[in-house]
Amino acid sequence: VRARVMEVTESPDVSYEDIGGLEDQMQEVRETVEMPLENPGMFDDVGIEPPSGVLLYGPPGTGKTMLAKAVANQTDATFIKMAGSELVHKFIGEGAKLVRDLFKVAREHEPAVIFIDEIDAIAATRTESKTSGDAEVQRTMMQLLAEMDGFEERGEIRIIAATNRFDMLDRAILRPGRFDRLIEVPKPGKEGRELIFEIHTRGMNVSDDVEFTALAEEADVASGADIKAICTEAGMFAIRDDRTEIRMDDFRDAWEKIQADGDETDDVSK
């Protein structure tokens, strides 16, 4: 069970240079996660507790997982990822045990960054989690809080959680000593989008006619994940046309296709 729900990576291959347009967020993650891992004595010397948990919140595909991976990479920490939804839905009755296992694995792999994606699945307000698994969800969350509250003895372990549903979170997890640093990770602005286009085309054979500034303007609602998809799809358009060089029109067609596909998916879910 452990192997299937927990993703353990000794050295994730994401670095800060791979992340576009989140300078402030990166800075804050570095201060709150990287510094205490690299220089724990500094917090002792100053006489303050480093933050135990950091919560990243914002829309899907904006780079929350990347930020967590990059900080683990930078600090040579093991990256241990678990999705909140898997914790409670896939292995009913196992949630609390999996949380205990998660921290055990982290202790065995210090320094470690624990990343809990979709934390809202285990830490939703009581009123909103009215499914039959309610008691199970509560038990899982209690175990998580217990692990975090015993944090001083925890050594070189930092916890990063992420959610797309900040509004749904049980405030208990936001108390001091728990996820007491909140970092909003929004969709990229125009400049951010341009940087993300540049990042994702680094290894691509891009024609001279491609203007990232214009693309960033046109793809005005795109997330980072959308931009990555645009770049890959643009490459596909070139291949279909039997070219090795990707042109401006390929990017435009790709963005149109991705928007159309997205609309279809929306319709299906309605």
Residues 215-254 that bind ligand ATP (CB under 6 A): 224-225, 228
**In the complex, minimum distance from the CB of residue 118 to ligand ATP, in angstroms, rounded to a whole number:** 7
Q: Report in angstroms how near the CB of residue 68 gets to ligand ATP at its nearest.
A: 8
Query: Is 164 one of the binding residues for ligand ATP (CB under 6 A)?
Result: yes
Binding residue (CB under 6 A) for ligand ATP from 15, 60, 214, 241: 60
Query: Which one of residues 6, 12, 22, 88 is an interface residue with ligand ATP (CB under 6 A)?
Result: 22
DSSP label at 125? -
55: helix, strand or coil = strand
What is the Cα–Cα distance from 181 to 168, expressed in whole angstroms?
17
Where does this chain touch ligand ATP (CB under 6 A) — which range of 19-27, 151-159, 172-180, 260-268? Answer: 19-27
What is the strand order of the sheet 78-83 is part of? 6-9, 78-83, 112-117, 157-163, 53-57, 179-184
66 annotated to a ligand binding site: yes
Helices (H) and strands (E) in the chain, counts: 12, 6
Is residue 138 near ligand ATP by the rule CB under 6 A? no
User: Does the annotation list 201 as a binding residue?
Assistant: no
Contacts of 156 (CB under 8 A, 6+ apart): 37, 40, 77, 110, 111, 112
Q: Which is nearer to ligand ATP, 174 or 199 (CB)?
A: 199
Query: Contact 197/216 with Cβ under 8 angstroms?
Result: yes
64 is in an annotated binding site: yes
Q: List interacting residues with ligand ATP (CB under 6 A).
A: 19-22, 60-66, 117, 162, 164, 188, 196, 199, 224-225, 228
